[in-house]
Amino acid sequence: MLDEDLLQKATEFTESLPKDILNRTLAWAYLHETRDSYAIENEAPSEDKATRFVNLLKQAHSPRKLDEDYLVDLQNAVISNAFSQAMSFRTEQNYLSNGLRGALGVSYVPPAPELSRSLMEHLMVLANQQPEDTDPLVLASIVSFGFVFVHPFMDGNGRLSRFLFHQILCQRGALQNGLVLPVSIVLRQNESEYLGVLQAFSEQARQYWDVTYIDENQFQFEFKGHEALYRYWDGTHCAEFMARATKQAIEQHLKEETVFLTRYDEIYRRIDQSFDIPNTDLSRLVMFCLDQNGRISNHRRKQYQYKVPEEIFDALEQAYRILVNEDI
């Protein structure tokens, strides 16, 4: 799949778009990458949270080396609870839970704080001194998954790992024109496969930890393995999965959105030339028509029967059919 040169195709695609369509497609991509990144963790962001994460994603295009201070700033940007905002990489042991009680509820134990810091230092070197002979998609996948395996913060690691995927690609110059890939849509749609890739490592690592339940949310952890488990892991499946997610994000979601926007503009233009109705009503009706694949439902016809001329409903459907036939 790396031979398909997906990122170059994405650059060529965005360069072929009219500026207005490109800007609106990018706005859609940033918003959906934000919403779906939160949705992966079963959270719906508030408007403030969404705005902060969009601004975070835009930073990926700014030249900036990764260091502890910068990652702490990023963690603070995605975590709104001041009590959960970090001041440094973690200094205590963390763990992931599957909801069961006792030690059985501990599904993954990241490396101990001292090892975690050492691993992060090496990961930041890899991100800042990118080997030229490594495909950017492979490198971005390794840094992204490596970050989430290390879990250097007590909270916010998942969202930051998905940001780092973009950050690595941008710093390498592989994403142009302000592009962000809506890969989180794909991860959410293929959640079982995404979790499978994560669990292939986490379940193996869990076997090397003795976990003793003390009290509610209190455990004693003892690592019985070798630190090489966290230093030298096989990232093949991670890179393969992210390559497939990238392809789907580009060839399906980005391109579908540009088609949607192009059709929206053309239908709006045609109806606006023939009818004199408020812009807000026309905009909503065009959206309804597109969402229903060229139909205005009886519910919408009744809803707008005293707001717009009756013939506009059939005109919208006809305009859609003409556009679809022209695209064939």
Q: Any idea where the domains of the chain sit in the sequence?
A: 2-251, 275-327
Could you report the per-residue pLDDT of 216-260, keeping only the tens digit for each? 889 999 999 999 999 999 999 999 999 999 999 999 999 999 999
Could you report the per-residue pLDDT of 265-296, keeping only the tens digit for each? 999 999 999 999 999 999 999 999 999 999 99
Confidence of residue 327 (pLDDT cuts 50, 70, 90): low
Domain 2-251 matching CATH 1.10.3290.10: the answer reads yes
Does the pLDDT value for residue 2 go beyond 80? no
Q: How many Cβ atoms are within 10 Å of 321's Cβ, its own excluded?
A: 11
Confidence of residue 328 (pLDDT cuts 50, 70, 90): low
Q: What is the pLDDT at residue 246?
A: 96
Report the interhelical angle of 236-248 vs 191-206 (nearest 10°).
170
- In this prediction the pTM is 0.90
What span, in angstroms and rounded, lies between the C-alpha atoms of 297 and 294? 10
Among 90, 87, 88, CA closest to 109: 90
